[in-house]
Amino acid sequence: MVRTVVDQLEKKLAEPDSPGPSRGSLDRALEGNRRPRHNEIDWNRTIRANLKHYQAKYRTVIPETRIGYGRKTPIDCAS
């Protein structure tokens, strides 16, 4: 019985399509930076996300939430 369970676990861990523990952090990094620098702002997504803050008097959108481009690689916090 124990051997069967061990074999099943080894098979699951050997599958290449199974996401690793760091995969979730990479997915969140690619979603978009919520505190971007000025040159990292994705203006199209920022405007779409803030259309509810349109000011008719000034004929403009006030960006309450800025959305930046997602990182392509994770940041190594240990170094």
Strand partners, 68: 41
Encode 46-66: b = buried (16+ Cβ within 10 Å), e = exposed.
beebbeeeeeeeeeebeeeeb
- Closest C-alpha to 49, from 34, 70, 71, 30: 34
pLDDT digits 0-9 by tens, 23-73: 555 555 555 666 788 888 889 999 999 999 999 999 999 999 888 887 655
pLDDT at 8: 87
Secondary structure element (H or E) that encloses residue 55, with its range: strand 54-55
pTM of the complete model: 0.49
- Report the pLDDT value the prediction gives residue 57, as an integer from 0 to 100: 95
CA distance 53 to 44: 15
Residue 74 pLDDT greater than 60, yes or no: no
Looking at residue 24, what is its pLDDT?
57
pLDDT of residue 1: 86
